[in-house]
Structure 1
């Protein structure tokens, strides 16, 4: 199949268009944009300047990728938006480019699905196999690990990290880091233990799931101070890579970690 560009599309002469690309009616492709092989841009899609799409992406009508960041310090600097392969970008999704004050680029992995009206702000880093449901909003500089699911109408505050394989419930707000492998929910997002259903669906064995469940109880429900809880987990649970990753993520957190829902009145460092 050869590349097919509709007669009403506006494609910059400096854009690079791969093979087997379909560009629909009234699409706009900006300067220095890169559209990878096999990608389908449906009608009225806007691909802004310096936006790179890998292969086999499907972008639905009225999505805008690589828009200028909603950042008061942005003065038109050359910054980037980069997407991997095999992503499904649904109607009216917006993804903004990076800022000079941040990483200079917004980066999206491969095999993601962003449902209608989802928004990814400047300088975000989103891993592979991420699903963001309708009207999810990521503020600037958010990091989302691989295989994360964020349910509809949820919002994540700037600079927050969401660890891999986490599941975030809908209509929720997140202002602290959500550790990997965890389930979070609530208007003010709280933890509800490991994401056991999601972990099993992704092939985690019972040993890893039981270890994460035990580690969670020690860290978040034992009443120990945070570092004491982490040290106790290190002593009692060894040889489980997922537990090691959980401890690493918590120790690296600069924002604080989302608390357990039963400890909602406690400090995230308690």
Structure 2
């Protein structure tokens, strides 16, 4: 274990012997830091934070800090649980949980650019990219391989489906369905995230299936429930199932189609 002499490791913190801690960083009592993690300078890891293996935490990042919720008191704190191989760039802030027993949860292989933020009780999947100052309010759910561009702001309780992309300076006030490309002062669906789908190995047949499902949902003039039934019947496949399940479970409704 390599710990800079200016770093503070409180009694009760648990660090794997392979962990590196840089100057002026603080790891509070109760935090758990997994194998191969690297904490750069001026990092603060708050109590109730759990980091898996090989996470990189850059200068000034704070993980597990008090949520920005006026009802918060220390006894209400819930965990921040982080998986493996995440990269947190400078100034990233992720809050601990407060409302749910599982707290805030971050998966594996996510890349958080400078000053991005996830609020309390967010659930984030794997291999997502959050560009500079991308912000998730509390209770936001993000699937896998999502790209949130710079200065995107996601309203609390919204969901971002897997393989979606949201353009820069976009306010997201409703759910963004899987595979979609969204943009606008208030996000609207422009079409499919075609580049992202190609990069992630989706075949032409799969991309066509997704396109036809969304054509039924947004362009056919059918009632939503009828459109979803027809989509499952006419375009069966895992992508269709994912879209239908996402839409049926939406609580805030979907963004509109431009």
Q: Report Cα offsets for 1:142-164 as digits up to 9, x if no partner.
A: 00001111000000000001111
- Preserved CA contact (<8 Å) 2:111 2:130: yes
Q: Does 1:243 align with 2:240?
A: yes
Query: What corresponds to 1:258 in structure 2?
Result: 255
- Preserved CA contact (<8 Å) 1:142 1:161: yes
Alignment of 1:1-270 (within 5 A): 3-77=1-75, 78-99=77-98, 101-238=99-236, 240-261=237-258
Q: Report Cα offsets for 1:149-207 as digits up to 9, x if no partner.
A: 10000000000011111111110000111111111111110111221211111111111
Give the unaligned 5+ runs of structure 2. none
User: Per-residue deviation at 1:235?
Assistant: 2.5
| TM-score in terms of structure 1 length | 0.93
Counterpart CA distance in 2 for 1:201 and 1:28 is: 39
Q: Report Cα offsets for 1:227-261 as digits up to 9, x if no partner.
A: 122122123212x1101110111011111011111
Counterpart CA distance in 2 for 1:241 and 1:49 is: 40
- Preserved CA contact (<8 Å) 2:78 2:100: no
**Structure 1 residues 103 and 139, CA gap change in structure 2 (3 angstroms):** farther
Work out the number of aligned pairs and report it: 257
Counterpart CA distance in 2 for 1:65 and 1:226 is: 40
Counterpart CA distance in 2 for 1:19 and 1:131 is: 29
Counterpart CA distance in 2 for 1:15 and 1:253 is: 39
Counterpart CA distance in 2 for 1:90 and 1:40 is: 12
Counterpart CA distance in 1 for 2:118 and 2:176 is: 18
Counterpart CA distance in 2 for 1:31 and 1:179 is: 40
Deviation beyond 6 Å, 4+ runs, structure 1: none
Q: Give the superposed CA RMSD.
A: 1.0
Give the unaligned 5+ runs of structure 1. 262-270
Counterpart CA distance in 1 for 2:256 and 2:244 is: 15
